[in-house]
């Protein structure tokens, strides 16, 4: 990501007709941003190659790649990577599908549309910890939860969601929070669809389904890639929802990379080991980001 930003900066044509060189004026912000990035990164890199455990101050010294070796031998790493993938992938699919459907639905004219739109967007304003608590204690709770009550109404055994379907529960909560974002972006995109294009399609004989697949969806293509890009960056670091609900468990069922790093560093106090995990996370995030930014920018240029 950093390299990409740098590229953009240098690629800017120097069409400066003014006498004064204005580039030095950029330096303060460039320097601040650079320090903002490089100091934590350098510290993480440094911690990842030393022996640093908060519970054992006697354990010091250069560790070389020991932390990394341990990490790669730890099955929890691979589980957490898989969990991260499952979480991000499922939430992306759910939010894009529901975001698109809601956008189409709430673009139609009906009475009270403004209020309805506001209600769809509302979950986005709730902070992650609060929404996780609401889901945990008021909806999915096996005793007090709304779902349990509904199940008891039809004579079913209440489900203990976080014990039996931990990952599904987390996915549901996170999706609930991110559907509004997708909805908002896609709704604005759908509103920019040329009315005459839709009318032309109607004259060409397109029914609602054809209209959706041949006209609306291609039009939303770019907006959907923007949604995917932005959401991926945020979803890779999902933490609060897991912290509040499952604490990465049961076992490692909902341990994603962010939670793994947290638990190693701040529950087991092995800073060196956690830093190695952090470096892995940075590398992975950058790989994903490079791919995403490339695809999306290509997509945006095409459109």
Partner 1 sequence: MVDVVLQNIKKAFGDVEVIKGVDLHIEDREFAVFVGPSGCGKSTLLRMIAGLESISDGDLMIDGQRVNDLSPAERGIAMVFQTYALYPHMTVRDNMGFSLRLAKLPKAEIERKVNEAARILKLEPLLDRKPKALSGGQRQRVAIGRAIVRNPKVFLFDEPLSNLDAALRVQMRIEIARMHSDFDATMIYVTHDQVEAMTMANKIVVLQGGVIEQVGSPLELYHHPRNRFVAGFIGSPTMNFIDTQVQNVQAESVTVSLPGGGSVTAPVKDRGLKVGDKITLGVRPEHLLESGGDGQIQGKVLVVERLGGATYIYAQIEGNQTLTAEIDGNSPVKVNDAVTLGLSGATCHLFTTDGLALEQAARHPLAAIDRGHSVAH
Interacting residues toward partner 1 by CB under 8 A: 194, 196-197, 199-206, 210, 214-215, 218-219, 221
273 closest CA partner among 69, 58, 23: 69
Smallest separation, CB 111 to partner 1 (Å): 15
Report residue 155 as tokens. Answer: 């004579």
| Minimum CB–partner distance for residue 221 and partner 1 (Å) | 7
Among residues 53 and 299, whose Cβ is nearest to partner 1?
A: 299
Of 32 and 194, the one with the shorter C-beta distance to partner 1 is 194
Mapping DSSP onto H, E and C, the string for 97-128 reads HHHHHHHHHHHCCCCCHHHHHHHHHHHHHCCH
Task: Supply the DSSP string of 154-192, one letter for each residue.
Answer: TTPPPP-HHHHSHHHHHHHHHHHHHHHHHHHHHHHHHHT
CA distance 73 to 69: 6
Distance CA 23, CA 191 (A): 39
Residue 212: CB minimum distance to partner 1, A: 13
Backbone angles phi, psi at 156, to 5 degrees: -90, 155
Using only C-alpha atoms, the chain has a radius of gyration, in whole angstroms, of: 24
How many angstroms separate the CA atoms of 131 and 149, rounded? Answer: 20
CB of 302 to partner 1, least distance (A): 9
Q: Specify the residue, 104 or 171, whose C-beta has the smaller distance to partner 1.
A: 104
Residue with smaller CB distance to partner 1, 57 or 205: 205
- Contact criterion met (CB below 8 Å) for 240 and 258: no
Calculate the alpha carbon distances from 94 to 154, 160, 179, 184, 238 in Å: 27, 22, 8, 15, 16
Q: How far is the CB of 299 from partner 1 (least distance, A)?
A: 12
Is residue 134 classed as helix, strand or coil in its secondary structure? helix
Provide the minimum distance between the beta carbon of 198 and partner 1 in the complex, in angstroms, as a whole number: 8
Nearer to partner 1, 107 or 221 (CB): 221
Note whether 154 and 215 are within 8 A (CB).
Answer: no
Q: How far is the CB of 298 from partner 1 (least distance, A)?
A: 15
- Residue closer to partner 1 by CB (options 56, 204) is 204
Report, in Å, the least distance between residue 109 CB and partner 1: 13
CB of 117 to partner 1, least distance (A): 24
In the complex with partner 1, the residue whose CB is nearer, 204 or 290, is 204
Pull the structure tokens for residue 300: 């945006």
Nearer to partner 1, 113 or 214 (CB): 214
Nearer to partner 1 by Cβ, of 184 and 220: the residue is 220
For residue 270, the cross-strand partners are 53
């Amino acid at each position: 990501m950093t390299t990409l930003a740098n590229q953009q900066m240098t690629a800017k044509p120097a069409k400066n007709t003014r006498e004064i060189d204005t580039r030095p004026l950029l330096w303060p912000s460039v320097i601040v941003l650079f320090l903002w990035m490089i100091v934590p990164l350098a510290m993480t890199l440094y911690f990842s190659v030393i022996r640093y455990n908060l519970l054992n101050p006697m354990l010091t010294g250069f560790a070389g790649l020991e932390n990394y070796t341990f990490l790669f031998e730890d099955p929890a790493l691979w589980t957490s990577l898989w969990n991260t993938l499952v979480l991000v992938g499922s939430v992306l699919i759910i939010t894009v599908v529901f975001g698109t459907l809601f956008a189409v639905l709430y673009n139609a004219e009906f009475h009270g549309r403004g209020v309805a739109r506001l209600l769809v967007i509302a979950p986005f304003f709730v902070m992650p910890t609060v929404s996780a608590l609401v889901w945990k204690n008021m909806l999915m709770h096996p005793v007090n939860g709304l779902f349990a009550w509904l199940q008891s109404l039809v004579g079913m055994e209440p489900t203990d969601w976080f014990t039996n379907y931990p990952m599904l529960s987390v996915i549901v909560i996170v999706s609930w929070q991110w559907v509004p974002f997708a909805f908002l972006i896609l709704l604005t995109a759908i509103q920019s669809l040329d009315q005459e294009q839709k009318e032309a399609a109607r004259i060409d004989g397109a029914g609602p389904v054809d209209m959706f697949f041949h006209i609306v969806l291609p039009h939303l293509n770019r907006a959907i890639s923007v949604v995917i890009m932005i959401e991926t960056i945020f979803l890779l670091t999902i933490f609060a929802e897991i912290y509040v609900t499952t604490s990465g468990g049961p076992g490692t069922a909902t341990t994603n990379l962010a939670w793994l790093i947290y638990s190693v560093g701040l529950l087991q106090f092995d800073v060196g080991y956690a830093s190695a995990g952090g470096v892995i996370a940075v590398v992975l995030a950058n790989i994903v980001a490079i791919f995403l930014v490339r695809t999306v920018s290509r997509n945006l240029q095409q459109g």
